[in-house]
Amino acid sequence: MADYRDLLGEPDLCRGGSINSIVFCCNKPDCPVLKHALNKLGISYEEYVKIKKEESQIAILDFQEVDLAFSRSLETRDESRDLALKKLEWTTTNYLVYKYNILKRFKRAVSNEEVFKEKIIRLFPIFLVDLNEGKTLYGMALGNIELGFLIPKELRDVEKDETLTRDNVFVGVRIPKSMLKQMDDMVSKKLFESRSEIARVGLSMVLRFANEGNVDRLIALSKGQLSLQLHDSIKHGQTSEEGEHSKSSGPKYRK
């Protein structure tokens, strides 16, 4: 059942959040991201402001009003929001419940709730050529092709990245969100450098099993029954079928 916890971890709309995060948007009428979201919802800017104004929670900070109806996601640093919450003696849970009540108002004004799952800003892999410096950069970017903008994030120099050579290519895949979360947990625990490294190790295992004709283990891997084996591979710096020789010649994993 949907409740305020659906907004936990939800970034601002302009930072890749779903249209649910319109509750974290400001009141700038010229914001292209907000305009695009309102068009998808079939709501005018005036109606958007009206819904939020009817749910206003205002705190006075140094003679300045802060209206939490237009305050940002908890995933974004915002000193004014935090001071307002402290002034009102609200917890972060109070804030999310309040925002969820606003979201319910928006959903009542829209015929198709499925549209709230869509994202205006998405993540794209990119290559950039710096003509002035004469170097090629790659990384990820947040943006919207239809709106005509991309904001690069965490760019790396191709020449200095040992994991990227002329023999390497980008491959896009769709995976469950639960799997992505597990990958991020492994990266945060320093078991791997990145999501890409995890994907390369996983593909290497699949290809090795296939080349060895080990169909049973390949099927088990596809059904998620080899998680313990992968854990052991990381722990010992090798895959379970590799011997002592591969400890010195195979890939090394962080412990």
pTM value? 0.61
- Mean pLDDT computed over 41-46: 96
pLDDT band at 194 (very low <50, low <70, confident <90, very high): confident
In DSSP notation, 22-86 reads GGG----TT-HHHHHHHHHHT--HHHHHHHHHTT--EEEETTEEEEGGGPPPTTS--HHHHHHHH
Give the pLDDT of residue 27: 94
Extents of the domains making up the chain: 4-117, 121-169, 171-255
Residue 46 reports pLDDT greater than 50: yes
Residue 93 reports pLDDT greater than 70: yes
Per mean pLDDT, which range of 14-23, 76-85, 132-141 is the poorest?
Answer: 132-141
Per mean pLDDT, which range of 81-90, 146-155, 197-206, 240-249 is the poorest?
Answer: 240-249
Of all residues in the chain, the percent with pLDDT exceeding 70 is 78
The residue that leads in pLDDT, 201 or 67, is 67
CA distance 236 to 248: 12
- Secondary structure element (H or E) that encloses residue 141, with its range: strand 135-144
pLDDT band at 224 (very low <50, low <70, confident <90, very high): low
pLDDT band at 167 (very low <50, low <70, confident <90, very high): low
Give the pLDDT of residue 165: 54
- Mean pLDDT computed over 144-158: 86
- Mean pLDDT computed over 2-25: 93
The residue that leads in pLDDT, 15 or 171, is 15
Give the pLDDT of residue 176: 84
- Secondary structure element (H or E) that encloses residue 97, with its range: helix 92-108
Question: Looking at residue 240, what DSSP letter applies?
Answer: T
Most confident of the ranges 27-36, 171-180, 213-222: 27-36
Per mean pLDDT, which range of 25-34, 176-185, 218-227, 234-243 is the poorest?
Answer: 234-243
Residue 50 reports pLDDT greater than 60: yes
Taking all residues of the chain, what is their mean pLDDT, rounded to a whole number?
82
The residue that leads in pLDDT, 190 or 42, is 42
CA distance 100 to 98: 5
How many CB atoms sit inside 10 A of residue 234's CB? Answer: 19
